[in-house]
């Protein structure tokens, strides 16, 4: 199942509380409550996605409040760092803002004899951000490709270098676009390259940043900037531009409804991968952390961090696969 059909299937199980008005997002009331248990201790280390770094930290803080004897370390240097850390055993969790590639999963299986396991923890609308004072209303994916890519595989016949190239006038017309993006270790970089640029090559002029917050800060301080990041990093100083799939198509806002339905062209699940031997139960620390993340309390953190929560049917499906009950 491809990404759009996966999100569309996900949208089928959405219930009334997920109606979005003025960007208000509510939890699925059928999500399970997390109930604290006894005897949980040990160490957990997470290595992976910068997009998920703040969210992993929120989950860790909530979990440690209940289990002070559990030591948790969070390291977010990009999704590409998660698979090798899981293979090496230096991390118990590997958050990723893209699905693990077949080659990465194969390396894991070569070491352990079985595939890594993923849980879907949140939904993100990967946003194209501009400065808050930029009046641009909408961009097509073809235009986004021509802005960031030197190969223009989406089919636009001319390069886009200035704001005037997309029809902006006045002080904007002759001003070159200042491009901000992530580095190649980032899952956001890989996902944007695949979905927004048809696997084309980034322009050499893209200012690659080590983290999503740096991308947004760069755009906030540069009136003529444009860049991409997970919606959870949005601030009052930047604005997410509506995206159409093709020039002339309806412009779709980067909000919860459109991410859930798959109508927003660059929506995605955010994953956390881990090592689970299919013939053995998870240790208590990891099992309880997973249950916490997928509970009402854990999904409240998703909303707090600016992303969109998963639903009870999806949670129960993932818990069943893992052999966990709540």
Between the alpha carbon of residue 73 and those of residues 15, 239, 287, the distances in Å are 35, 32, 17
**pLDDT score, position 16:** 32
Residues of the chain with pLDDT under 50: 1, 5, 8-9, 11-22
**pLDDT score, position 116:** 97
Strands 225-230 and 42-48: unpaired
**pLDDT score, position 305:** 94
CA 318 to chain centre: 18
Note the pTM of the prediction, 2 decimals: 0.87
DSSP string, 196-254: TSTT-PBPTT-EEESSHHHHHHHHHT-TTEEEEEEGGG--TTEEEPEEESSTTSPPB-S
Answer for the pair 267, 258: CB distance below 8 angstroms, yes or no.
Answer: yes
> What's the CA gap between 56 and 114, in Å, rounded?
25
Give pLDDT tens digits for 292-302.
Answer: 999 999 999 99
Residue 248, number of CB atoms within 10 A of its CB: 7
Walk me through the domains of the chain, giving residue ranges and CATH numbers: 3-14+27-124+268-322 (3.40.190.10), 125-267 (3.40.190.10)
């Amino acid at each position: 199942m491809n990404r759009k059909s996966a999100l569309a299937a996900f949208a089928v199980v959405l219930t009334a509380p997920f109606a979005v008005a003025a960007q208000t997002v509510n939890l699925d009331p059928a999500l399970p409550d997390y109930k604290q248990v006894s005897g949980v201790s040990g160490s957990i280390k997470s290595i992976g996605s910068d997009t998920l770094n703040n969210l992993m930290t929120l989950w860790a803080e909530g979990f440690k409040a209940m289990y002070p004897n559990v030591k948790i370390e969070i390291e977010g240097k990009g999704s590409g760092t998660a698979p090798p850390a899981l293979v090496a055993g230096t991390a118990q969790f590997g958050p990723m803002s893209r699905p693990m590639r077949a080659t990465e999963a194969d390396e894991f299986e070569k070491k352990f004899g079985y595939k890594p396991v993923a849980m879907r923890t949140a939904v993100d609308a990967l946003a194209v951000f501009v400065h808050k004072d930029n009046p641009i209303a909408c961009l097509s994916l073809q235009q986004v490709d021509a802005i960031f890519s030197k190969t223009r595989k989406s089919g636009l016949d001319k390069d886009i270098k200035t704001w005037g190239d997309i029809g902006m006038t006045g002080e904007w017309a002759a001003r070159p676009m200042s491009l901000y993006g992530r580095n190649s270790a980032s899952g956001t970089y890989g996902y944007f390259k695949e979905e927004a640029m048809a696997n084309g090559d980034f322009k050499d002029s893209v200012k690659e940043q080590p983290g999503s917050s740096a991308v947004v800060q760069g755009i906030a301080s540069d009136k003529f900037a444009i860049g991409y990041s997970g919606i959870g990093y949005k601030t009052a100083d930047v604005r997410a531009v509506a995206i159409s799939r093709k020039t002339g198509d309806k412009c779709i806002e980067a909000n919860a409804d459109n991410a859930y339905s798959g109508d927003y062209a660059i929506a995605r699940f955010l994953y956390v991968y881990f090592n689970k031997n299919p013939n053995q139960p998870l240790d208590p620390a990891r099992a309880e952390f997973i249950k916490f993340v997928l509970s009402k309390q854990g999904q409240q953190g998703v909303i707090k961090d600016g992303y969109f929560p998963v639903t009870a049917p999806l949670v129960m499906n993932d818990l069943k696969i893992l052999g966990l009950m709540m």
